[in-house]
Chain A
């Protein structure tokens, strides 16, 4: 009788891989270390941070005290700023997505020299750095108030309008590329079935655009949520509708080197995005990467 060698179910342990795994894990810990520092120091009082910034806090209960300090602080107005950030980001995102999609669709489906020129105008807008328009932009918003009597600086509609203008080029460009790949026959069939043009866009094209819409939500969302230079110019430090980054900068400018306050505000400003990332990790990574490759 021939003894069969039992098939090994396990692969032999490759020590190289184990070493690599351990090293990568250590690397990950060193990457996460700054976050750890923020977390432990948010749970310390100012004197405690000064005495020992690296050690564990005496009581983690202090973090609640610090959070309460931030919530009641007049220069960050955390809840207010948080709501502002959410309002500004969501309105801008929806407006940019919808308007750019509409524009890109008519630009693709109207094959004239004119639509090509407009498209090129949008594309060239992608190269423009914000610094080159920031000073005249503030002047223009002020002039618009003088001429129309409507306040634009330090208002929701002012900053959303600015974000539509600056978000449009990239979004139109990406929608344009995507819509070109949608067969025109779908629209012809819809026309024969009695769809009007707006119906074709809102009922047929828009659902097809969903993947690229999500990509743009992520890409523009990360930009708008974290943006500092545009809101600080259009809203100003300590303005009525200040966003979270502006609010944190305002706090850090008022309480210089009071690390208990600054680090707690940093923690509270960063947490919402991190929580969102834990839920929508796949979409966020995919969106940001495919946006870069475009």
Chain B
């Protein structure tokens, strides 16, 4: 028993060596791949050098030749590697390698960033995750939030875009003004709105005397207002670009034919800006799903609420449980890791989160492709 645990503890080291060797291989492939993958034109130019190499038929000599030789092919491959290494190296080191480590950690009971003691526990995290009502709750809240959010943002953004594409005097001022909140990061905006909800509005008294951020559902509405205010101007710009591409003669023709404004909107504008709708819907969906900064500074995931009855029934929870009503998945992962120190479990959540986002992106690609075919 102990023996097997020890053996499994070696896994990170083995993984580490594998990953290092993979990256080494990736850097070496340029030399190995040369022979097969060089284009025909370079082969012709490099005919003599190639002959020498094949005579020597030693990899070492070949690599040496590629790095020191003055032939065009040798130069080109040096350039290929040198030009690629900074970006690809950074990407492999900072994204691909941590991702692979992350997949491994999601199968362990990793508990602290630098303790270095984690045991491979197989699918335990994933099984626990699907029986964990907290994760389901935060997933559900994220979905509710994302859906309401994309509706609110896109409705406001499209409305604004329709307004500012009219012949208004201060058209450009409006555009810049509506865009402005988007310049400032979500974190900073969260503090501004925390002040507005908890101080400014409350000071009005009467119906406003209790802050919106006290109760879970109104807090979510409050958050949606903040994010809509932040994002609508940005999405508006996308719609403006699409609306400006609508040919004027179509609109003129419809006016002559006697279509009213609503008919024009329904039958001419909406179909022609459908592409922009797909783009904006997916953009807002993904950003809503990743929501972290704003909610962190607005309420830090508060207010605390009781787990709804139907979810208690679903998971067979007997006693009343409290949950953070604005802990969306991104915040939940962060809290799992840094306040509860269940890093392996948090990492498993992150993997699920990634899979969901990847699926969304695939659906998006599918929609975009289909539209391309239609056009």
The interface stretch among B3-11, B142-150, B182-190 is B182-190
Question: Does B324 sit within 8 A of A, measured CB to CB?
Answer: no
Residues of A135-173 contacting chain B, CB below 8 A: 135-140, 142, 161-162, 164-166, 168-169, 171-172
Structural contact, A127 and B292, CB atoms closer than 8 A: no
Structural contact, A166 and B94, CB atoms closer than 8 A: yes
The interface stretch among A33-41, A59-67, A70-78, A207-215 is A33-41
Structural contact, B168 and A21, CB atoms closer than 8 A: yes
Question: Does A245 sit within 8 A of B, measured CB to CB?
Answer: yes
Structural contact, A54 and B203, CB atoms closer than 8 A: yes
Question: Does A93 sit within 8 A of B, measured CB to CB?
Answer: no
CB of B335 to closest CB in A, whole Å: 12
Query: B357 to chain A: which residues have CB within 8 Å?
Result: 127, 129
Q: Which residue of A lies closest to B232 (CB)?
A: A31
Structural contact, A263 and B195, CB atoms closer than 8 A: yes
The interface stretch among B170-178, B214-222, B309-317 is B170-178
CB of A116 to closest CB in B, whole Å: 10
CB of A214 to closest CB in B, whole Å: 16
Question: Does B290 sit within 8 A of A, measured CB to CB?
Answer: yes
CB of A250 to closest CB in B, whole Å: 11
Assuming the contacts A53-B199, A168-B91, asked whether A132 and B163 have C-beta atoms less than 8 A apart, the reply is: no
CA distance A197 to B114 in the complex (A): 45
CA distance A37 to B201 in the complex (A): 11
Question: Does A227 sit within 8 A of B, measured CB to CB?
Answer: yes
Query: A273 to chain B: which residues have CB within 8 Å?
Result: 183-184
Assuming the contacts A21-B170, A135-B346, asked whether A259 and B185 have C-beta atoms less than 8 A apart, the reply is: no
Residue of B75, B94, B200, B241 touching A197 (CB-CB under 8 A): B75
Assuming the contacts A17-B166, A20-B168, asked whether A172 and B178 have C-beta atoms less than 8 A apart, the reply is: no
Residue of B114, B164, B173, B177 touching A142 (CB-CB under 8 A): B114
CB of A127 to closest CB in B, whole Å: 5
Assuming the contacts A21-B169, A245-B185, asked whether A32 and B180 have C-beta atoms less than 8 A apart, the reply is: yes
CA distance A266 to B195 in the complex (A): 11
CA distance A116 to B91 in the complex (A): 16
CA distance A133 to B84 in the complex (A): 23
Structural contact, A164 and B192, CB atoms closer than 8 A: no
Question: Does B135 sit within 8 A of A, measured CB to CB?
Answer: no
CA distance A118 to B81 in the complex (A): 12
Query: A32 to chain B: which residues have CB within 8 Å?
Result: 177, 180
Query: B334 to chain A: which residues have CB within 8 Å?
Result: 131, 229
The interface stretch among B50-58, B60-68, B99-107, B122-130 is B99-107
Q: Which residue of A lies closest to B193 (CB)?
A: A34
Structural contact, B183 and A132, CB atoms closer than 8 A: no
Structural contact, A135 and B350, CB atoms closer than 8 A: yes
Assuming the contacts A53-B195, A113-B37, asked whether A164 and B86 have C-beta atoms less than 8 A apart, the reply is: yes
Question: Does A270 sit within 8 A of B, measured CB to CB?
Answer: yes
Instruction: Give how many A residues have a beta carbon under 8 Å from the other chain's beta carbons.
Output: 92
Question: Does B238 sit within 8 A of A, measured CB to CB?
Answer: yes
Q: Which residue of B lies closest to A259 (CB)?
A: B195
B38, B91, B173, B186: residue with the most chain A Cβ atoms closer than 10 Å: B91
Question: Does A80 sit within 8 A of B, measured CB to CB?
Answer: no
A105, A106, A136: residue with the most chain B Cβ atoms closer than 10 Å: A136
Structural contact, A252 and B191, CB atoms closer than 8 A: yes
CB of A247 to closest CB in B, whole Å: 11
Residues of B339-355 contacting chain A, CB below 8 A: 343, 346-347, 350-351, 353-354
Residue of A25, A172, A277 touching B87 (CB-CB under 8 A): A172
Structural contact, B113 and A142, CB atoms closer than 8 A: yes
Query: A21 to chain B: which residues have CB within 8 Å?
Result: 168-170
Residue of B94, B241, B343 touching A289 (CB-CB under 8 A): B241
Query: A229 to chain B: which residues have CB within 8 Å?
Result: 292-293, 334
Residue of A38, A52, A228, A289 touching B293 (CB-CB under 8 A): A228
Structural contact, B283 and A292, CB atoms closer than 8 A: yes
Query: B361 to chain A: which residues have CB within 8 Å?
Result: 127
Q: Which 10 A-B pairs have the closest CB atoms?
A: A165-B94, A226-B185, A164-B90, A103-B87, A136-B101, A99-B86, A136-B98, A99-B87, A102-B83, A133-B98
User: Apart from A31-B178, A31-B233, what 6 extra A-B contacts exist at CB < 8 Å?
Assistant: A24-B163, A28-B174, A34-B229, A114-B37, A142-B113, A269-B188
Instruction: Report A's interface with B, CB cutoff 8 A.
Output: 17, 20-21, 24-25, 27-28, 31-32, 34-35, 37-38, 41, 49-50, 52-54, 95, 98-100, 102-103, 105-107, 110-115, 118, 121-122, 125, 127-140, 142, 161-162, 164-166, 168-169, 171-172, 196-198, 201, 222, 225-229, 245, 248-249, 252, 259, 262-263, 266, 269-270, 273-274, 277, 281, 284-285, 288-289, 292-293
Task: Show 23 A/B contacts (Cβ-Cβ < 8 Å), sorted by A.
Answer: A24-B174, A100-B87, A102-B84, A107-B84, A121-B91, A125-B95, A129-B290, A129-B353, A129-B357, A131-B290, A131-B292, A131-B330, A132-B354, A133-B99, A136-B105, A164-B91, A164-B94, A165-B94, A171-B87, A225-B185, A249-B187, A270-B188, A289-B237
